[in-house]
A and B are shown apart, each in its own frame.
Chain A
Amino acid sequence: MTDVVATNETILVVGGGISGMTAALEAAETGKQVVLLEKNPALGGRTAQLYRYFPKMCHPICGLEINLRRLKANPRVLVLTQAEVTGISGSAGDYTATVKLAPRYVNENCTACGACAEAVKTEVDNPFNYNLGKMKAAYIPSAMAYPQRYVLHPSIIGTPDAEAAKAACKYGAIDLEQKEESVEIKAGAVVWATGWQPYDAAKIQPYGYGRYKNVITSVEFERLADPHGPTGGKILRPSDGKEAKNVAFIQCAGSRDENHLRHCSRFCCMASLKQTHYVRENSPEDGKSTIYYIDIRAIDRFEDFYQKVRDDASVSFIKSKVARISEDDNGNPVCWGVNTEGYKRYSNAHDLVVLAVGMEPSVKGVAIPASIVADSSGFIEADPANGAIFGAGCATNALDVNRAVQSATAAALRAIQVVNKVARAEV
């Protein structure tokens, strides 16, 4: 049985991505007790799935490593993975959350040696790579995974594969008797940092995502560029494994659209500008990027990043939202539309089309087990009616990593004020 010591002076952080980790650490480093919950088997969220950050083009594993070091050094944060909140009762300063803990089937003895993965034969979709590749059903979620422990996929439990994994483990780390459990956690304040999900591109019917193999999303493109990704960092197109040299980026795929997401997702322009770097690095001689856009929203400090991409001869910009995509005989996606600059019609074939999909809050349409005020896009509003449940990061707005961290720090400060009042350290 998992033992959780928590009081109404504890801060509960829901979601272990960059925002949740930040909120948890900021609060813990001021001396507060924090419980950090993560639904997946490892921390890091979608940030860990990026190849590089803009604008400095550094690797997310670097930023994550700093946070993981802070986390390991801090005894005040209790991390629970594979944990989901199913209910919250109480009010500000006195909440009780019911948390469901899914079994990992691997205990603390695990040394991440990988013997179980070698013994297991079943392969399952790899969600870390947005299902672009397969992985063994005994797996470590990613190279940077924290906790650095293997997981058994629930689909093999009760099969000979699970027994094989158990037999292969030299450390007695595999425990097939683990069961799902439910724990109650007390908290004075809750930080809700459940992040975002890429908008379902298949809903944008004229773009043919799901029908045409060489139409992919921007998050999938991140995985293609990443050396830890399914193609070892080579940008190979899904249909025939050919190197994609002529890549199109379609902005506002789902965003700023009353039929899809009403809001501007803010990060997608910068993400595509960043991804033109990947194309050039992959094919320095003949790599070509084309950005189809309504207007480029490289917000505030990012204007110079945009200008540099503008000056790059391998990148062209077409001011037009693509109306539809078809596929030619060679499997090349063809973009159709009318260029707003001159109102000329075009139909351009590319090797690969990347849809810069919008950001949808994970809380949208999901019954948050507490009463929360959300805006018309489903993002959590900063509303007094929420009591001491504070949104952080992409649960509150369409944000890039930098802004998500700012938002998380703000949420941590609000939560700290509540538990200080509970402790009568503040009035």
Chain B
Amino acid sequence: MSANQEMAVRYKNNFLKEVEQQVEMGEWVKMCMQCGVCSGSCPTNFHPGWEHPPQEIFMMIRAGKREEVLSSPSMWMCTSCYNCIVRCPRKLPITHIMHGLAEYAYELGLAPKVQPTKNLSKLFWENATKTGRINELTFSLGMYFKDAEGKINIGQGIKKGLEMQKVALGLLKAKRLNLFEIFGGHKCKDQKGIHAMLAKAYALESKRKGRHVG
């Protein structure tokens, strides 16, 4: 049974309860009073990818629209500007709930296949946790040489690299970019310790949420 099927069975038709227990800050969803200030304050106004505004997502969760919510690209569009959190009359941590929903959808394998934010997040996480430090050079190269679906694309990489040539030279001059980083670059002293710590945190979190450690 996939993680998705397992959760669907465990929570039967109670998607709100599932969100409360599985999604970070999900326990706040029931506090929404549908005033609409979050949606009206969102700078992604009229962006075609922002299918359901936060207020609608909250209502869909309560209405049990599990597949529609978890496979939606909407929460991946959040730019973390925090306008909604600042203005929400009920003080819902809306930004965090959006990220929590995105994480949960990813964990269950329901996140949209082609999603730039998802690809960026994944790349960043893998890059940063490898050595405990973000490697700017390999990170940007990773961005340039991967297409929207996350596949290696040499032609696109060279084209993007040339486009950004001026910026890169400026960064080199200001010593913000180091070409020798390609050989591994700066890293934390105790890398094994960091990996162990992250694995332990993941195990604890999975246990707390009753998920199988994948």
Contacts and interface: CB of A to CB of B under 8 A. Distances in A.
A336 B36 CA distance: 10
Contacts of B115: none
Interface string A320-357: 11111000000000001111100101000000000000
A343 to B, nearest CB: 5
9 contacts: A258-B90, A259-B91, A294-B34, A321-B89, A324-B40, A337-B36, A338-B40, A343-B56, A345-B39
B68 to A, nearest CB: 13
B52 interface: yes
B89 A320 contact: no
A322 B40 contact: yes
B119 interface: no
Contacts of A324: 40-41
Contact of B40 (A252, A256, A260, A320): A320
B2 interface: no
Contacts of B90: 258
A180 B141 CA distance: 79
Given A259-B91, A340-B36, 10 more contacts: A256-B89, A294-B34, A320-B40, A321-B37, A321-B40, A323-B40, A324-B40, A338-B39, A340-B34, A345-B40
Nearest to B92: A258
B55 interface: yes
A252 B91 contact: no
Contacts, number: 60
Nearest to A292: B36
A345 B46 CA distance: 8
A337 B89 contact: no
A257 interface: yes
A338 B36 contact: yes
Interface of B: 33-37, 39-41, 45-46, 52-53, 55-56, 86-91
A339 B36 CA distance: 7
Top 8 nearest A-B pairs (CB, nearest first) are A323-B40, A337-B40, A338-B39, A257-B89, A321-B35, A320-B36, A294-B35, A258-B91
Contacts of A340: 34-36, 55
A63 interface: no
B78 to A, nearest CB: 15
A206 interface: yes
Nearest to A260: B89
B89 A323 contact: no
A296 to B, nearest CB: 13
A320 B35 contact: yes
B37 to A, nearest CB: 5
Which of A294, A339, A340 gathers the greatest number of chain B CB atoms within 10 Å?
Answer: A340
A258 B89 contact: yes
Contacts of A258: 88-91
B107 to A, nearest CB: 27
Contacts of B87: 206, 259, 323
A280 B172 CA distance: 68
A320 to B, nearest CB: 4
A324 B84 CA distance: 12
A357 to B, nearest CB: 14
